[in-house]
Structure 1
Amino acid sequence: MELSCGVAGGRSGQSATATAAATAVATTPGGGPASSGRLMDADSPGEEDYESLPPSASLGTHMTAGAVAGVLEHTVMYPMDSVKTRMQSLQPDPKARYSGAFEALRTIVQTEGVWRPLRGINVTVVGAGPAHALYFACYEKMKRTLSDIIHHRGNSHLANGIAGSMATLLHDGVMNPAEVVKQRMQMYNSPYKSVLECMRTVYRTEGLGAFYRSYTTQLTMNIPFQAIHFITYEFMQEWWNPHRQYSPGTHVMSGAVAGAVAAAATTPLDVCKTLLNTQENMVLTSVNVSGHLSGMANAFRTVYQLGGVAGYFKGVQARMLYQMPSTAIAWSVYEFFKYLLTKRELEKRSPS
């Protein structure tokens, strides 16, 4: 959701603010945002301000909306995330070889129990809230700052990409330890009975660095992923929702397309990240690695050595099936809560 508050030059002070607030939150009789909910600049009629949120859209609004969106994104699609992790295994156990994403999910439920695809979800919930709060808040702030510099009062795909990359630094700093634990819990025949046991064992046997061994790889994957993701999302919004109203359907569709494109393009990096996070014993034995595999270059070489070019795209179907609804959920939930919270803040500030 983007509310606009461009005010005509003849207005001033409290009256102008109240008018902008009232217009921004106007809705159609059916409950959707009114197409007239944007004010034109008197100096340039017909030219609409670019998605400038009113001052009442606080940092807390972005962080709250982002946290809710992140938790829902990861929890709703978590079973497919578990499938993706297993299908990216370079040398899986014979009992964990799957021909497709849905066949894999069905097999896991039938042979290991209905709750097995949800193992590790608790650590993901704990990490996803603060990680996505920082992620969306940083993105919104940097997108507007950079857009003003690069393309005054207009949308800049370069600004969107840079803002998404910067937001990823904060997100992954919080989320990477949770990813390590989550993926080890998701693997077939995982030896860990609980998240806490996994954390203690990894810390005791591999040290604190194990929780960030894949951090540079994660960034190497997520920076291009998020750049592609945000650029694609904003591009689709320009196409389907040029006036940048709150429009649930376009947020869902734009998010799904953005997730699919970014997921397909960065699957090779995700395969390497999964290998570094899980440290598959059979893989390490095959390549005569004693100790632990580390570094993007080593991971890339190992993947190619064992799977060739096709190895870089293991689990691409599951990854796209996971990311499409995940990003659709994230954007629709985020835009909804941003719209709701901003509307309430505007109503509180408006004269009664």
Structure 2
Amino acid sequence: MASEDVVGKSRSDSAVSTIVNLAEEAKLASEGVKAPSHAAIFSICKSLVAGGVAGGLSRTAVAPLERLKILLQVQNPHNIKYNGTLQGLKYIWRTEGFRGLFKGNGTNCARIVPNSAVKFFSYEQASRGILWLYRQQPGNEDASLTPLLRLGAGACAGIIAMSATYPMDMVRGRLTVQTDKSPYQYRGMFHALSTVLREEGARALYKGWLPSVIGVVPYVGLNFAVYESLKDWLVKSRPFGLVEDAELSVPIRLACGAAAGTVGQTVAYPLDVIRRRMQMVGWSNASSVVTGDGRAKASLEYNGMIDAFRKTVRNEGFRALYKGLVPNSVKVVPSIAIAFVTYESVKDVLGVEMRISD
């Protein structure tokens, strides 16, 4: 009996020990699953915050030039108010004051912050996915991102970000072109959204979406491709004795961003002009359609992107596709540069190890 008790006790202890071990293993496994998950979510949030801060800061810094660019794009060719960058900025200052220079910037930031956050994050994920697919091909197991792959990842990021925030861009354009001489139809961003929905329907919030998406492919794609490729070349060629990406100074990063912005906006600018004009269709209170005596004048109607291109070139010439290019160029150079540098700097501050170069 004693030996049976001992055997029973031994088996009981063994069973308890097994259960305890299984419980501990389950606990460790559970913790092992949860920890990376929480860490990944936290890293994603920090990456989105970095992108949002980069977008808001870079766009606010050039808000006056952004507003002037849109006013030049859509102004009535028979009632010219803005003849250039300096004259246009002085005219806005004289007629609307300091606040006029930043009109529409609140709405713009409400759009650009999530847009920039989604864009940078989407680029990181798209570049990872594209590189993974590229490495599945025989002989490319150890391949790295090429300028063409970066262009594809940037294009994907631009399309996703543009589509997600396009209604905000549409109403921002209308808020921006309102002046003291045009009836104030919109009191703010939410009033503009509700008014357009009520008077023109939900489809109106996506007027000009097609040229926007077509334009964002070369614009955002080239921005990322040129910026990352320039940095990669600087590191590999070592003209300044650099050995890794982290050693690139802020001025060098700003120069890379400026070059990226210049190339991207020059290629995509005509599509941006057409997008703005299509957004104004159906609205008679834009500054572009107000005559000298303050009366509203009917705007051109466009049946689509091709029709808008054709009518713009026929009525105003090919140069009309580049209206506002000068203030836009002055704006894009610091804007894109500030966005890239701010994004990477904020990620460094927040402790996010993954960089867009990775």
Shift of 1:250: 2.1
Matching residue of 1:187 = 177
Separation in 2, partners of 1:58, 1:201 = 38
Tell me which residue corresponds to 1:309.
318
Q: Choose which of 173, 179, 194 in structure 1 pairs with 2:163.
A: 173
Q: How many angstroms does 1:56 deviate by?
A: 11
**CA displacement 1:113-134 (0-9 Å, x = unmatched):** 2101212222222222222221
Partner-residue secondary structure (3-state), 2:185 = coil
Q: Please give the secondary structure, in 1, of the residue aligned with 2:246.
A: coil
Count of matched residue positions in the alignment of Structure 1 and Structure 2: 287
Cα distance change, pair 172–56 in 1 and its aligned pair in 2 (3 A): closer
Q: Map 1:81-92 to 2 at 5 A.
A: 81-89=66-74, 91-92=76-77
Distance 1:62 1:234 in 2: 17
Matches of 1:298 and 1:187 in 2, distance apart?
A: 23
Q: Residues 36-185 of structure 1: matches in 2 within 5 Å? A: 58-89=43-74, 91-92=76-77, 94=79, 97-150=81-134, 152-185=142-175
Q: Normalising by the residue count of structure 2, what TM-score does the alignment of the two structures yield?
A: 0.73
Percent of aligned pairs with the same amino acid: 26
Secondary structure of the structure 2 residue equivalent to 1:197: helix
Residue 312 of structure 1 aligns to a residue whose secondary structure is helix
Q: Match for residue 7 of structure 2?
A: none
Deviation >6 Å, runs of 4+: none
Alpha-carbon spacing, 1:297–1:154, altered in 2? closer, same or farther (3 Å): same
Computing the radius of gyration from Cα coordinates, the structure with the larger value is: 2
CA contact (8 A) 1:213 1:294 kept: no
Residue 18 of structure 1 corresponds to none
Instruction: For residue 286 of structure 1, report the CA deviation from its aligned partner.
Output: 6.7
Q: Identify the residue that residue 20 of structure 1 maps to in structure 2.
A: none
TM-score of the two chains, using structure 1 as the length reference: 0.74
Closer, same or farther in 2 for the Cα pair 1:145/1:246, shift >3 Å?
A: farther
Whole-angstrom distance in 1 between the partners of 2:163 and 2:118: 10
1:209 Cα offset (Å) = 1.2
Considering only aligned residues, what root-mean-square deviation do their CA atoms show, in Å? 2.6
Distance 1:56 1:213, change over 3 A: closer
**Deviation sequence 1:168-224 (CA, Å, 0-9, x none):** 122112321111111111115352352133223222221111111121221011111
Q: Structure 2: 5+ residue runs without aligned partners? A: 1-39, 135-139, 237-243, 291-296
What is the DSSP-based 3-state SS (H/G/I as helix, E as strand, rest coil) of the residue aligned with 2:351? helix
Instruction: Give the secondary-structure state (helix, strand or coil) at the position aligned to 2:54.
Output: helix
Tell me, which stretches of 5 or more residues in structure 1 are unaligned? 1-54, 346-352
Residue 245 of structure 1: SS of its match in structure 2? helix
Give the secondary structure class of the aligned counterpart of 1:97. Answer: coil
**Equivalent in the alignment of 1:341:** 350
Answer yes or no: is the 8 Å Cα contact 1:176–1:214 preserved in 2: no
The answer to whether the aligner puts 1:213 opposite 2:207 as a matched pair is: yes
Tell me which residue corresponds to 2:266.
264
Query: Structure 2 vs 1, CA of residues 197 and 231 (structure 1 numbering), >3 Å: closer, same or farther?
Result: same
8 Å Cα contact 1:143/1:159 also seen in 2: yes
Alpha-carbon distance between aligned partners in 1 of 2:150 and 2:353, rounded to the nearest angstrom: 27
Assess, with a 3 A threshold, how the Cα gap between structure 1 residues 233 and 57 changes in structure 2: closer, same or farther.
farther
- Tell me: CA distance 1:137–1:206, structure 2 relative to 1, closer, same or farther (3 Å): same
